[in-house]
Amino acid sequence: MSTKTINRVGIIGLGAIGKRVLNALKNDHLPNAEYAAIDPSAASVDFASQNGIALFADAQGLLAWKPDLVIECAGHGAVVHVVPAMLQAGVDVVIASIGALADKTLAKDLEDAANEGGARLILVSGAIGGLDAMRSARAAGLDEVVYTGRKPPQAWTGTPAEQEFDLAGITVPTTIFRGTAAEASMKFPKNANVTAAVALSGVGFDATQVELVADPTVQKNVHEVKVKGAFGELGIWLANNPLPDNVKTSWLAALSIEEAVSKQVLTTVF
């Protein structure tokens, strides 16, 4: 771990999670820092103006502002099109959309960009916890890692599940996806980033088994991880409240970003 003084913070994406992280940092954690953002939406113009935030249209504009740290909250597309330029320019980047790393080519490109710029790509645990125990157990060998994600049916609106299931008509827990973490991360990029955190801490994207469930019996986003290996067995269970502004996102995901930045505890991945 290492620490760094942060005077200027850039945010990629001013959606529900980006706004919440920004407001928390401004009001509670880094009140003396300056803030800027990249967001093409019309709504972001008024938000930025009301909150005294510099708003840019692209990576070059934000880089010219000279941020000390950039936080990605905009989805996989931003990881592909914006994050590499930040890393190459020597700017540390926290990414929320870690499911993008299921793309091995992209993961290698990000590693190369970080090495070229002498920057750090920082992955947060997001909506899941307890992964330090799995990383420790990995040294002795892991035989099986299974992740199950349960959310209310309406939380899967706007995902491929909406095309395959009548979400409004689901009355019993229904599996909407079963496969690997790699498949889940690519098919459900806005909902299943936690699977990437599990995969990266354990047996990798291709060996981690994932089940996603539309469950009308739960009102929270429930994450379960079961691990078996030479060490024994491990179980992780969390029930997270969703963000009030976005039921697809666990509140803990935003909080994990806030903690990483406010404490300036930056875990180097590459």
**Would you please indicate which residues are annotated as catalytic (active-site) residues?**
223
Q: What sign for the dihedral angle of Cα 196, 200, 205, 208?
A: negative
HSE (side-chain half, CA atoms, 13 Å) at 232:
4
Q: Do the beta carbons of residue 255 and residue 165 sit within 8 Å?
A: no
Q: What sign for the dihedral angle of Cα 201, 110, 102, 219?
A: positive
With both helix axes pointing from N to C terminus, report the angle between 16-24 and 42-51 in degrees, rounded to the nearest 10.
10
Tell me what percent of the chain is helix, strand and coil, each rounded to the nearest 5: 40, 25, 35
The residues with which 259 forms a beta bridge, in sequence order, are none
